[in-house]
Each structure stands twice: as C-alpha cells, then as structure tokens.
C-alpha cells in the first residue's frame, strides 16, 4: 500500500504555496524511507522470522547493512517567504531542524501522515513523529544526525524554545514522540493572530513608535504601561496577560512574536511573583533571540532598558482631546474634559470614536461612563448628595468649596502659572477630613465627588492588609492603579487605624512591619494622581509630620444648637407630616447629637408616627431620642418627674458651661476647640487637641438643701505650650465675664478661684500621672 503513495496524495492546496511545495518534497522523502524500511524488513526476515531463526536474523545483519543510504537531497523547505522560513530566520535554525518542524507539522495538515508515521515506526498507535522517524527521514549523514540530536536535547533550540515538545516524558530509546504546540501550528498554517498558550488574555494592537532600543525592555510606573509600551513598537504588538506565574505563557508569547512578526508585550501587573516569568523572558531573548517588553509596577533588578510610564499630564490629555475631535472642541472644553477625566490618548480616541456627536456634554458623559469599573478592595458609592444638602459650619463649608475649586482647576492653573516647579500640583490632592463620627465626613466626600463629576470609592484599610509578604503592597497598588484609570475619588474611611499603626520607636518586628506598610501606603497616596480623602475621628492623634502630607485639612466639628435645629428640620422630608407641637429648638438644646445621630433618631420617629398613621409629634421625636441613646449605650432616662434630681442639675450645669465656652471659642478661633469632660488623661485629651478639659473634683450639698456646690479644674491643651497659654487666657476671660443661665429654674453662680492651694492641683495632677499643669479652679453653685 505504501508503494502506491505518490504525488497525488499531497493535500489539495496550491502547489505554488511554500507549504504545499514542502509537503511535496516530504512525500518524496517518505517514499524513499518506505523503500529503505522495506529493505530493512526484508534483511531482518530473509531466512524466516519465527522462533530462534527470527532472533538470529535480527542479530546477523550489520549496522552498516541496515543504515539508510546517504544522499545529497534538496532541503525539504523551499527558500521562499513563508511562516516556516520566518521561524527559521528568527531562531537561526539549520535545515535539518526546520525539516523536523515540517515533519511534526504534516499530521496537522493531512491526517494520512499520522497513519504513515505509525506504520514506519512499527507502532500504529503512535501517530506523532518519534526520534526514530526523524532520524530515518532527516538524518542522512552523521552531521545532520548530530545537529538534530543536539536540537532535540534539553538545551536544544527546538525544545528550549518550545517549538517541539516531548509528548511523553518516559519513553524507550528513539521512541520519544514530539509535537508542536497550538500557537506554532496556528502560525505555521498561516494564522495572522496565533493564540498564546497559558494566557489569561491577549490582544493585538498596532504600535506607534520606532521600536525598542534593546532586546528586553521593562516598562514600569503608575501610568498607562500598555500605551507607553506600544509607543516602543514599530509594527504589531501582542499584549499578553499570563494566566499564572509559570513560564509557559511567556514562552508562547515569545514564539508568537517570532512567528507573527510581532513584539510580545507581557503584562506582569497581576502576577503575584513575576520572577519566574522575568527570568524565562530574559533567558529566551538572550539565548535564542527575539524581543520582549515586560510591564511591571516597579523597576526590575535585571540588565535591561527601563522606561517609566507616567500618567499623561493635563496638557497632554487636552491635546489628545483636541486631536481626537479634529479641533472641533474649544481649548476651554478640551481642558475641562482633561481635568475631569484621567484618560490616556488611546482611551480618548475610543470615546470619541463611539460618541454620536462631538458635543462636549456628550463626550463628558461618555468619558464618565468609561470609568465605571471595579476598583479592587473598595466599594463604589453613587454620590446622592450635593453640598447644598449638607448642614456645615461656615468655616467647614468654605474649606470644602475651596477643595472643589482646587480639584477642578488644579491642572489648568498649574500649567498656566507654572506651578509644578514649586508645588506638587501634578498629583493629589491628599485631604484629611477630621471630626467625630456622624459629623458629615462621608456625606461631604459624596458631595465633593458629585461636584467634580467623578466616581467615589470607599476603601476598607482592613482589606488591604495581609499577613503574606508582598500581598499588602500589591493590594495597595491595585487600588491606586485602578482608581487612577477610572479617575475615582478615593475615601479611606476610619483612617484612625492607619495612624495608630505607626509607631515612632518600633521595638519589635511587628511594629517595624506596620511602619513599613504605613510608609508605603502614604508614599503611594502622595504619588497618586487623583483626589484621596482620609477620614479620621481623632485629628489630634496625628503628628505634625503626618499633617504636612495633606494639602487640605478640614475640620467637621460637632454641630451647634442652630445647626442641630437645621439638621432636625432637614431630616424630616417635606412629604412627612408634622404635628403642630414639633419643637426642634428644644431637641437641639436638650440633646447634643451629631448629624448622624439626628438622622437615626429622625428615621425612628417617622416610623413611630407611620405605625399610628398620624403626623410626627414631639413625643415621637423624644421617644426616638431615648431609643437612640439606649442603643448607643448612653444614659437614657425614663420620663422625668416634676422635680429635677441632682444628676440632672449636674448635667445641665455642664451643658451650660460648655455652651458658654463653646460659643466664645468659636467666636475667637476658626478651628474647633474641643471641650472635653472628665479626667484629662492622654487617651481622653491627647487626640483632641486643641482642647479645653473640665474635670469635676468636688461635689457637695448642705443637708436638707436641694442646691449643689461643684468645683471644676479647667485646663488648656495643645501641641505647643505657647498655644496652651493663649487658650487658657481666653478661657479665663470668658469665665470671668460669664453669667450662667438658670438650671431647672434655679439660679447659678460661677466664680473663678483666683488664688488656691497648690497642693490641690498637685494632688489632682499626680492622681492622673502628670506634672502640674496651668489650670483654673472654677466653682459653680446652684441655689
């Protein structure tokens, strides 16, 4: 049957094509091999093949008699442009090596080759080419056999490059079977875009540059690394994202690059440990040739050209908008789009290409929609509040408005005024929102994001931290890289854990590790080109070195009485019916709630009234306040009787003192001066500076007298001694001139003890573990 196999069995392809010609020549070579194998079989069985005669016949012929006749045959692969010749030129293959690839390729073109190979190898179950077949077809002389043996070895060109792969690792001598990987088969059969084996994703993109300056180029940085890499590609680039940290994907990408005439661009940003891939890429290019571009977050410790991918500047983004719209946008509109959206030139071209018109509002909406994607380790918040919806102190509102203006005009002003040489206007801003829980920090972040037209993502710091080495840094980088790509506003809520994790004098490995992670996060925040907001409940616990990192430090103080009235009013929407007895002023004066507390209580009151099917009454609001206090773990009284007890007298006295001090301090200082009740310990006061502490040290009442006599030690706290003296002087002046209102209908009398026993202060401060501090002794008597 084999003797009848001749030219007309070549696959039905054009004879003029290089592959068809190569297969025709392979057919002729195989016919010669068939003749030789027939001679070999006849020699081995000439005098019988059964019993011991068969064994003797296997031994008698000399190796020389069984060896194929050496011949000067023409190369199987014609010398003309073809994928096979492209592979040969890229790997500097000898003719015998290239012919081995052709032999392995043939069964992928025509199934009959598999049947022929099985018969020639005396194993019809083996349809792939084995070493025996390759030597029989190609090894016509010792030089060719040696070249082929070396190339099929562990470090040979064919096996090291992965062009030929051994199918089964364990095999008898000369029985190793070889095949071609899918990417090589696809390329050799003329596929313009072969698949990359082991890739989680790949895309083919036209380059925009003059080509890499070195065989291996590393593109690193926080900008668009893919776009920067394509600026180094002079033809076609194949961008590959490996599915795992194995070397197979990089080998396949490198082969595809050789076969398709493309530059492999390997994105290692998602690889936990890119070291094996980097080593494989460098070795392949160094040992076998070709080119490769590696994309990483940080520079690599290898001898290769490094190119940093920086985020496009505002001027570059504006120019990209103007170019993509053929100049139909005005420079002002292009500048506004460039300021609102951190999108590179490629992204801008895609947005403009998909847009129905070149209207600036439509382009703005399209650009905003392109940024709606996940930012890992964060939660996207759709801003539902504007600045007009917030009840803020005038100083706080002014600071937030200045922040919004800065974000909207940072790039334009920085470019026009040349600010980048003096100020860090190319990144940030980094903003601190400081205030107690419920004072409106998160709501203000929503309002800022809505005002600047960017998505808001809240980041949970606990999700960033990992016990595994390198994981935390990777999580941090993912957050900032993805948020920069989406132009998102980042909100690190409850950032107190970040500041508390930093230890000034680290005494163990855990503290050193915590300091290192906090330092890395802060450095990444400072390099981030976008608005980052850190919200904390305790600004006073942040040292000055930390505070200097923030361009904006905005205080969210507890609302005053008039602000609480407005918040109560705002929390009952217009569609919620109110009874005539609703008195927000009484609620605001009686309960010093934050905005968050008022929101919770108002919702309770609304449902209490809704359950009855009646308007919200004052009793509903008071009941809701009682429930809110109860669930917060604070004192929640039963209905008070007609006569106030001494506890209520004390509480109202403290409230009156705080009102007097608070209003006077707000009138003199722009920032909030905390009024702290209780023992002035570092934990109680230290994180709230500047502050005024009021500690009760004496409480007395004459027997049978309903009145009270109280004594307070009032102290000033700040980070600087001179500020403490200034603050204490203001407190002395205020209390000297103050008249306290009546408490539950009883007159109150306030007096500063101008001279007092030093031993009193010494005992007081010693009991709190501190040196004696300058303080005022204040007596308040209730009739």
CATH of the domain at 720: 3.30.2000
For 671, other C-beta atoms within 10 Å of its C-beta total: 14
* Arithmetic mean of pLDDT, 554-583: 90
pLDDT tens-digit map of 330-373:
888 888 888 877 777 777 888 888 887 888 888 887 777 665 55
pLDDT tens-digit map of 88-141:
888 888 888 888 899 999 899 888 888 888 888 878 888 888 888 888 888 767
Q: What does the pLDDT read at residue 540?
A: 62
State both tokens at 51: 């019993």
Residue 188 within any structural domain of the chain: no
Is 3 a residue whose pLDDT tops 50? Answer: no
Residue with the two structure tokens 């990483």: 296
Q: What does the pLDDT read at residue 445?
A: 92
pLDDT tens-digit map of 212-257:
667 888 888 877 788 888 888 888 888 888 876 667 888 888 888 8
Residue 387 sits in the same domain as residue 366 = no
Please tell me the distance from the alpha carbon of residue 245 to that of residue 268, in angstroms, as a whole number. 9
Residue 8 CA neighbour count, 13 Å, CB half: 2
pLDDT tens-digit map of 763-776:
888 887 777 888 88
What's 439's domain CATH number? 3.40.50.300
Please tell me the distance from the alpha carbon of residue 392 to that of residue 214, in angstroms, as a whole number. 58
Is 16 a residue whose pLDDT tops 50? Answer: no
Residue 397 sits in the same domain as residue 466 = yes
Q: What does the pLDDT read at residue 448?
A: 92
Name every residue whose Cβ is closer than 8 Å to that of residue 276 and which is 6 or more positions away in sequence.
Answer: 245, 246, 247
pLDDT tens-digit map of 548-565:
888 898 989 888 889 999
Q: Considering 527, 555, 583, which residue would you say is the last residue of a domain?
A: 555
pLDDT tens-digit map of 517-537:
777 788 888 888 889 998 888
Q: What does the pLDDT read at residue 405?
A: 92
Residue 241 within any structural domain of the chain: yes
Query: Is the Cβ–Cβ distance between 255 and 199 less than 8 Å?
Result: no
Q: Considering 576, 607, 631, which residue would you say is the last residue of a domain?
A: 631
Residue with the two structure tokens 């951190």: 342
Q: What does the pLDDT read at residue 404?
A: 92
Residue 111 within any structural domain of the chain: yes
Query: Is the Cβ–Cβ distance between 713 and 764 less than 8 Å?
Result: yes
Spatial CA neighbour of 561 closest among 661, 657, 663, 634: 663
Query: Is the Cβ–Cβ distance between 118 and 126 less than 8 Å?
Result: yes
Residue 118 sits in the same domain as residue 12 = yes
Buried b (16+ CB within 10 A) or exposed e, 176-198: bbbbbbebbbbbbeebeebbbbb
pLDDT tens-digit map of 434-487:
888 888 899 999 999 988 888 888 887 777 777 666 677 777 877 887 777 777
Is 400 a residue whose pLDDT tops 90? Answer: yes
Q: What does the pLDDT read at residue 10?
A: 42
Share of the chain above pLDDT 70, in %: 84
Residue 39 within any structural domain of the chain: yes
Q: What does the pLDDT read at residue 40?
A: 67
Residue 439 within any structural domain of the chain: yes
pLDDT tens-digit map of 485-503:
777 889 988 777 666 555 5
Q: What does the pLDDT read at residue 62?
A: 47
Residue 150 within any structural domain of the chain: yes
Residue 78 sits in the same domain as residue 140 = yes
Q: Which domain holds residue 749?
A: 646-782
Q: What does the pLDDT read at residue 568?
A: 92
* Arithmetic mean of pLDDT, 262-280: 81
Residue 494 sits in the same domain as residue 614 = no
Residue 174 sits in the same domain as residue 223 = no
Residue 45 sits in the same domain as residue 147 = yes
Residue 157 sits in the same domain as residue 211 = no
Q: What does the pLDDT read at residue 1?
A: 40
| Beta-sheet strands, E only, within 356-434 | 378-381, 430-434
Sheet order of strands, 674-677 included: 674-677, 691-700, 708-717, 775-782, 748-752
* Arithmetic mean of pLDDT, 301-320: 82
* Gyration radius of the chain's alpha carbons: 41
SS3 content of the chain, % helix, strand, coil (to 5): 50, 15, 35
Residue 275 within any structural domain of the chain: yes
* Arithmetic mean of pLDDT, 645-660: 84
In sign, the C-alpha dihedral spanning 340, 343, 344, 350 is: negative
Residue 249 sits in the same domain as residue 152 = no
pLDDT tens-digit map of 287-299:
888 888 888 878 8
The count of domains in the chain is 6
Strand partners, 700: 709
Long-range pairs for 660-665: beta carbons < 8 A, 24 or more residues apart? 660/734, 660/735, 660/738, 660/740, 661/692, 661/731, 661/734, 661/735, 662/560, 663/560, 664/730, 664/734, 664/738, 665/692, 665/730, 665/734
Residue 639 within any structural domain of the chain: no
Q: What does the pLDDT read at residue 4?
A: 42
State both tokens at 383: 């801003």
Residue 440 sits in the same domain as residue 480 = yes
């Amino acid at each position: 049957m084999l003797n009848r196999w001749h030219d007309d069995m070549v696959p039905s392809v054009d004879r003029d094509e290089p592959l068809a010609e190569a297969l025709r020549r392979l057919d002729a070579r195989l016919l010669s091999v068939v003749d030789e194998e027939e001679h070999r079989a006849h020699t081995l069985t000439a005098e019988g093949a059964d019993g011991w005669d068969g064994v003797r016949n296997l031994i008698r012929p000399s190796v020389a008699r069984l060896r194929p006749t050496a011949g000067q045959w023409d190369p199987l692969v014609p010398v003309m442009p073809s994928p096979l010749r492209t592979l040969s030129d890229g790997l500097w293959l000898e003719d015998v090596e290239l012919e081995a690839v052709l032999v392995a390729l043939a069964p992928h073109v025509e199934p009959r080759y598999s049947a022929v190979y099985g018969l020639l190898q005396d194993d019809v179950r083996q349809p792939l080419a084995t070493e025996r077949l390759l030597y029989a077809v190609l090894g016509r002389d010792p030089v060719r056999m040696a070249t082929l043996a070396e190339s099929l070895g562990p470090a040979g060109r064919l096996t090291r490059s992965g062009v030929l792969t051994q199918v089964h690792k364990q095999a008898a001598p000369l029985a190793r079977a070889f095949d071609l990987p899918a990417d090589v088969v696809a390329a050799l059969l003329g596929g313009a875009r072969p698949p990359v084996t082991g890739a989680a994703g790949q895309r083919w993109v036209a380059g925009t540059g003059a080509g890499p300056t070195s065989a291996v180029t590393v593109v690193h940085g926080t900008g668009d690394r893919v776009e920067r890499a394509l600026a180094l590609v002079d033809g076609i680039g194949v961008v590959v994202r490996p599915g795992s940290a194995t070397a197979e994907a990089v080998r396949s990408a490198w082969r595809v690059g050789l076969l398709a005439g493309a530059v492999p661009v390997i994105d290692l940003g998602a690889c936990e440990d890119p070291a094996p891939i980097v080593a494989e890429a460098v070795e392949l290019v160094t040992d076998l040739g070709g080119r490769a571009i590696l994309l990483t977050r940080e520079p690599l410790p290898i001898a290769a050209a490094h190119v940093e991918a920086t985020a496009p500047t505002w001027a570059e983004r504006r120019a990209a908008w103007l170019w993509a719209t053929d100049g139909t946008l005005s420079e002002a509109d292009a500048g506004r789009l460039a300021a609102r959206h951190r999108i590179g030139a490629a992204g801008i071209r895609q947005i403009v290409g998909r847009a129905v018109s070149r209207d600036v509002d439509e382009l703005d909406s399209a650009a905003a929609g392109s940024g709606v994607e996940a930012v890992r380790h964060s939660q996207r918040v759709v801003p539902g509040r504007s600045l007009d919806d917030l009840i803020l102190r005038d100083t706080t509102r002014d600071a937030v408005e200045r922040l919004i203006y800065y974000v909207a005009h940072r790039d334009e002003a920085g470019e026009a005024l040349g600010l980048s040489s003096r100020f860090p206007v190319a990144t940030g801003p980094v903003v601190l929102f400081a205030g107690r829980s419920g004072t409106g920090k998160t709501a203000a972040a929503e309002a800022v994001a809505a005002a600047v037209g960017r998505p808001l993502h809240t980041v949970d710091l606990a999700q960033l931290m990992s016990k595994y080495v390198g994981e935390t840094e990777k999580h941090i980088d993912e957050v900032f890289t993805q948020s920069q790509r989406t132009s998102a506003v980042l909100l690190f809520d409850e950032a107190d854990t970040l500041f508390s994790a930093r230890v000034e004098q680290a005494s163990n490995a855990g503290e050193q590790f915590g300091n290192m992670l906090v330092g890395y996060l802060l450095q990444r925040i400072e390099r981030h080109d976008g608005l980052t907001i850190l919200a904390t409940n305790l600004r006073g616990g942040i040292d000055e070195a930390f505070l200097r990192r923030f361009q904006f430090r905005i205080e969210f103080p507890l609302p005053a009485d008039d602000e609480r009235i407005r918040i109560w009013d705002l929390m009952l929407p217009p569609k919620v019916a109110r009874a005539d007895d609703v008195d927000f002023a009484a609620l605001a004066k009686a309960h010093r709630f934050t905005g968050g507390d008022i929101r919770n209580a108002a919702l309770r009151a609304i449902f209490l009234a809704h359950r009855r099917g009646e308007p919200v009454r004052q009793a509903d609001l008071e009941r809701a306040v009682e429930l809110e206090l109860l669930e917060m773990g604070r004192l929640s009284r039963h209905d008070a009787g007609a006569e106030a007890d001494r506890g209520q007298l004390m509480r109202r006295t403290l409230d009156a003192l705080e009102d007097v001090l608070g209003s006077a301090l707000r009138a003199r200082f722009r920032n909030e001066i905390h009024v702290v009740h209780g023992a002035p310990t570092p934990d109680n006061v230290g994180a709230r500076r500047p502050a005024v502490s009021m500690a009760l040290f004496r409480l007395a009442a004459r027997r049978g007298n309903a009145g009270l006599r109280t004594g307070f030690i009032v102290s000033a706290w700040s980070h600087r001694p001179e500020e403490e003296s200034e603050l204490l002087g203001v407190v002395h002046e205020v209390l000297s001139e103050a008249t306290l209102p009546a408490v539950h209908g009883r007159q109150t009398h306030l007096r500063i003890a101008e001279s007092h026993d030093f031993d009193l202060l010494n005992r007081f401060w010693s009991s709190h573990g501190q040196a004696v501090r300058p303080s005022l002794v204040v007596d308040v008597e209730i009739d």
